[in-house]
Structure 1
Amino acid sequence: MGYVAVTGGEQAIATSLDLIERKRVAGGLALDVDTILSCLPELVQQVESEGSLWAPEVAATAVKQACGSVEEAVFLMRAYRSTLERLYTSRVIDTDEMRVDRRISAAFKDIEGGQILGATRDYSHRLIEFELADETQASVRDRARELAERLADTAVPTAPDALARVPRVLTYLRSIDMVRDWPVDNTEPVDITKTPLSFPAPRSVILQALSRGLTQAVIAIGYAAIRGFGLSHPTVGELRRGSVAVEIDAPGAVADAPAEDAYYLGSIPVTEVESLIVADEVDEQGEHRSALDVGYGLVVGTDESKAIAMSVLDHSLRADDVRFPTQDQEFVLYHIDGVEATGFISHLKLPHYVTFQSKLDSALRSVAEKGGEADA
């Protein structure tokens, strides 16, 4: 459907595309992909996460083509992803083996392995540094050298010297039988990039949809669940950030082949959160007792707010009763998909001449009828 009444038809559409391209190049400056990767890593990671494709150079190119529009860049990434052939399925990633560069717990002050603040804006003043406007390539190199020398004198682990393995905070809580047990689901995960959403959705679908959902939507709905439009008000048991290895089985390998037989493809950055929510459960003797539910979040990249919100919604969507929208699978999972939401909202810009004329005629008839009744 197009704007058939627009003078020129196809020529007008072609011209509109030329106008958007002219807008991109009007400044006369070429922003190369390496600069985007280096200076805007978190933007690139968001596009990769929501686009369900870990390909930094492609994501940076999409950001450039979209002139910085996240929703357009994600759309481009998903469109590109749909053209790729899937050759292998990776082995299950074990986040216990994460190379951690940041790891905190809001539940305990002292944790085995220690709290590692790592790189975070949590303690910054959020004041704009106007001197960055005059930054040069030389000043950036000098600043990088200065920081490297300063950090070399600290005990803070920095890549590639991140901690290879740290124990989980939840291990202690499980050892004292304070973590509520959920039935183990050993069914094959459903791939939502190949299978349409249906409800009730298995947990594999819930976690996939949350992980690749529109970042701001996941955070907003998670916030709503915490504010009172849900039953989940968590304590972050553990947040860990780092890189995990991606491996595939050797071609022709038998099932359950030894770990050393796998092919290492590379590592991807992830952020993992295990949130704790106090809940009541009934034990084997029929007695009520307090226990801890665990909400789980894992996102590609370093967006901690999204991972925490994901853990909140993971817990919310496992509720037995749906008293709030944040516990309704269809409400949450449909509305956090950025491409779906953008597409539906954007379609409102397309011609609706016939349907609107019908509504207008109906409204005019109603007004006329009421006017006739008033005259009578």
Structure 2
Amino acid sequence: MYVAVKGGERAIDNAHAWLAEERRGDTSIAELSLAQIREQLSLAVNRVMAEGSLYDPDLAALAIKQARGDLIEAIFLIRAYRTTLPRFGASDPVDTGRMSCDRRISATFKDAPGGQVLGPTFDYTHRLLDFKLAAESDCEDLPETQTAEPRSEDTPHILSFLDGENIIEQEPRTDAEPGDLTREPMSFPAGRAVRLQSLTRGDEGFILGMAYSTQRGYARNHAFVGELRIGSVPVEMEIPELGFAIEIGEIELTECETVNQFKGSKTVPPQFTRGYGLVFGQSERKSIAMALVDRALRWEELGEDNLGAPAQDEEFVLSHADNIQATGFLEHIKLPHYVDFQSELELVRKLRREATELAEQMAAREAAQ
């Protein structure tokens, strides 16, 4: 337990005022607008939306500005705001096969049906600082290039073409309502739907570390990226008064499906299995990492051996993936713990006195002998 902060209102008000001053920075420099953050720091905005579980680029940009660029603090702000929003219904499951793809690649099939679309990516850049961006008029000097339009037609999933050979597992279909991690506390063992919710809300760095551990041998997870796609999908909602679904908007998603080896079991012949990742916005690293961890966590349902790897431990992964919970528990130790520490201090002093007395007694006995 810790002692709550009491009093000191004037000091707290001054701390808030100082924070606002630090957040604003040099007033001779133009203030960042939400539009600038939304459009030019879009990957940060996407992360805040994904881990905050709220798709709203403007609110995510506001949270980043308020948090001075601290993305975990921004995610905390978005989650707190999310709890105030009313729920008036649920959308239908999105169909990513209808995605208007800005980017669609496969590491398993060179001639993917529908073609590969490189899209906006850092993959082929040289990772050298571009000092042209430091110029005030950098937007005027952009080279003229031809940018491909997103695929407007439906884009079938590449792994669906393996279904015809029956060499990849079939995704089970169920009409059961998936659990909602934002409304119900997690319990173990968790179903795959809840696991995927936890991973998509989880801290990108933690999920990345878990995924990397599987590639280094701490789980059975030799994976290929069957397909990685980024684009917009329509969101539809059933309207009871109308008796059918209507489109209420579009959201940008990143989806990754991995292909993994599976040696088979007594009842299932050798085939490929899947890992899956789906994240708000353009979040390639997170979606790939999520797919790797998803596959590692499926060892039991696939009848595989548990190798004792951290990424195979459902409770370990899911209990530590949430950066808001982790931040809260970690940062609470900087709040006053005066009573706790005083008790620890007195205990250590007492033990030291007893140890000193015992040492003196031992020395006296040795001298007497």
Give the SS at the match of 1:14: helix
Question: Does the aligned pair in 1 maintain the 2:235–2:251 contact within 8 Å?
Answer: yes
Give the SS at the match of 1:281: coil
Output one character per residue of 1:208-245: Cα deviation in whole Å (capped at 9) or x when no partner: 11112112221121112221222223111111111110
Deviation, structure 1 residue 2 = 3.9
Question: Does the aligned pair in 2 maintain the 1:247–1:262 contact within 8 Å?
Answer: yes
| 1:198-347 aligned within 5 A | 198-254=187-243, 261-282=244-265, 284=267, 289-320=269-300, 322=306, 323-347=308-332
Match of residue 360 from structure 1: 345
Confirm whether residue 72 of structure 1 aligns to residue 70 of structure 2: no
Match of residue 125 from structure 1: 126
Q: TM-score, normalised by structure 1?
A: 0.88
Question: Does the aligned pair in 1 maintain the 2:163–2:170 contact within 8 Å?
Answer: no
For 1:165, which of 131, 140, 154 is the aligned residue? 154
Output one character per residue of 1:325-365: Cα deviation in whole Å (capped at 9) or x when no partner: 21112211121111111111110111111222222222233
Paired residue type of 2:257: E
| 1:71-110 aligned within 5 A | 71-110=72-111
Confirm whether residue 114 of structure 1 aligns to residue 115 of structure 2: yes
Q: CA, structure 1 residues 226+217, in 2 after alignment: closer, same or farther (shift >3 Å)?
A: same
Question: Does the aligned pair in 2 maintain the 1:33–1:57 contact within 8 Å?
Answer: yes
Deviation, structure 1 residue 10 = 1.2
Paired residue type of 2:75: V
Question: Does the aligned pair in 1 maintain the 2:237–2:247 contact within 8 Å?
Answer: yes
**Runs of 5+ consecutive residues of structure 1 not aligned to the other structure:** 255-260
Alpha-carbon distance in 1 for matches of 2:201, 2:220 = 23
Output one character per residue of 1:9-44: Cα deviation in whole Å (capped at 9) or x when no partner: 111111111110111223113211111112111111
CA RMSD of aligned residues (A): 1.9
Paired residue type of 1:215: E
| 1:45-56 aligned within 5 A | 45-56=46-57
Q: Percentage identity across aligned positions? A: 41
Q: CA, structure 1 residues 289+298, in 2 after alignment: closer, same or farther (shift >3 Å)?
A: same
Paired residue type of 2:198: A
| 1:135-214 aligned within 5 A | 135-136=136-137, 139-141=138-140, 143=142, 146-147=143-144, 150-151=145-146, 157-158=148-149, 161-181=150-170, 183-214=172-203
Alpha-carbon distance in 1 for matches of 2:57, 2:193 = 25
Give the SS at the match of 1:249: strand
Paired residue type of 2:200: S
**Runs of 5+ consecutive residues of structure 2 not aligned to the other structure:** 363-369
Match of residue 22 from structure 1: 21
Q: Which runs of 4+ in 1 moved over 3 A?
A: 1-4, 181-186
